């Protein structure tokens, strides 16, 4: 009976010719890729950090803003709006 079981196991395995065919190689590669993806996901989930807070309320960090004077004085100078002309090239625009 043990010989019959061994023969059945060998019969269930595909031949080397069948395994060398492209569609079989693709299926083996796909199975390997899925296994790698599962391993990658497992590593990522194990690597996640969990912080235990002493209280449920988490304090927001205080933001400090420093205002510095600008190199250009935008206040006090008139803003020029609309179209502009270079060296009086467009007389219609320069009139306004």
Distance CA 36, CA 48 (A): 19
Phi, psi of 55 (to 5 degrees): -120, 160
For residues 83 and 21, which has the higher predicted lDDT (pLDDT)? Answer: 21
- Max mean pLDDT among 2-6, 24-28, 29-33, 84-88 falls in 29-33
Q: Other CB atoms closer than 10 Å to residue 85's CB: what's the count?
A: 13
The 10s digit of each residue's pLDDT in 9-57 is 666 787 878 778 878 888 889 999 999 999 999 998 888 777 777 766 7
Distance CA 61, CA 55 (A): 16
Distance CA 21, CA 24 (A): 5
């Amino acid at each position: 009976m043990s010989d019959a079981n061994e023969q059945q196991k060998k019969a269930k395995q595909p031949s080397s010719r069948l395994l060398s065919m492209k569609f079989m190689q693709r299926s083996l590669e796909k199975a390997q890729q899925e296994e790698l993806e599962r391993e990658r996901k497992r590593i990522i989930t194990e690597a996640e950090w969990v912080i235990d807070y002493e209280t449920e309320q988490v304090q927001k960090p205080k933001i400090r803003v420093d205002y510095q004077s600008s190199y250009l004085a935008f206040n006090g100078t008139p803003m020029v709006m609309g179209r502009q002309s270079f060296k009086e090239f467009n007389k219609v625009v320069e009139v306004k």
